[in-house]
Structure 1
Amino acid sequence: MINTIIFDLGAVLIDWNPEYLYRKIFSDEQEMRDFLSTICTPAWNEEQDAGRTLAEGTEILIAQHPEHEESIRAYYGRWEEMLNGTIEGTVDIFKKLKASGRYKIYALTNWSTETFEIAKQKFELLNWFDGLVVSGEEKIRKPFPKFYQILLDRYHVKPEEALFIDDNLRNVEAARKLGIPSIHFTSPRQLADALPEFGVEV
Structure 2
Amino acid sequence: MIKNIIFDFGDIFINLDKQGTYKAMAALGVTEISDDMIHVYHQYEKGLISTEEFIDFYEQKVHLKREDLVNAWNAVLLDFPKRRLDFIIELAASKKYRLFLLSNTNDLHIKWIQNSLGTAFYNEFKNAFEQFYLSHEIHFRKPDSEIYEFVLEQNKLNPKETLFVDDLKENTDSAHKLGIQVWNLDPKTEDVTALFTKNYSL
Equivalent position of 1:61 in the other structure? 58
Give runs of aligned pairs for residues 173-192 of structure 1, distance below 5 A.
Answer: 173-187=173-187, 189=190, 191=192, 192=194
**Over residues 68-99 of structure 1, what are the superposed CA-to-partner deviations in whole Å (9 max), with x where a residue is unaligned?**
32177634356555432214454454244324
Structure 2 portions without partners, runs of 5+? none
CA contact (8 A) 2:103 2:134 kept: yes
In the superposition, the TM-score normalised over structure 1's length comes to 0.75
Per the alignment, residue 47 of structure 1 pairs with: 43
Cα distance, 1:97–1:193 mapped onto 2, change above 3 Å: closer
**Could you tell me how far apart the structure 1 residues matched to 2:158 and 2:65 are?**
44
> Using the alignment, how far apart are the partners of 1:130 and 1:89 within structure 2?
20
> Are 2:160 and 1:197 equivalent residues in the alignment?
no
User: Tell me, what secondary structure is at the counterpart of 1:84?
Assistant: coil
Matched, 1:119 2:113: yes
Aligned pairs for 1:6-155 (under 5 A) are: 6-17=6-17, 19-20=19-20, 34-35=31-32, 44-51=40-47, 52-63=49-60, 65=61, 68-70=62-64, 74-76=68-70, 79-88=73-82, 90-113=84-107, 115-120=109-114, 122=117, 123-124=122-123, 125-155=125-155
Please give the secondary structure, in 2, of the residue aligned with 1:14.
coil
Q: Distance in 2 between matches of 1:76 and 1:13?
A: 22
Distance 2:35 2:71 in 1: 16
Aligned counterparts, 1:156-171, within 5 A? 156-171=156-171
Query: Structure 1 stretch 135-144 or stretch 92-101: which is displaced more?
Result: 92-101
Listed one character per residue, the Cα deviations across residues 93-140 of structure 1 (whole Å, up to 9, x for unaligned) are: 424432432111100111124543453453231222111122111112
Q: CA deviation at 1:194?
A: 7.1
Identity %: 22
Judging changes above 3 Å, is the alpha-carbon distance between structure 1 residues 39 and 55 closer, same or farther for their aligned structure 2 residues? farther
Higher-helix-fraction structure: 1
Is the 2:172–2:183 Cα contact (8 Å) retained in structure 1?
yes
Q: Is the contact made by 2:46 and 2:138 (CA closer than 8 Å) also made in structure 1?
A: yes
CA distance in 1, matches of 2:185, 2:66: 29
**Deviation, structure 1 residue 156:** 1.8
RMSD between superposed Cα atoms in Å: 3.3
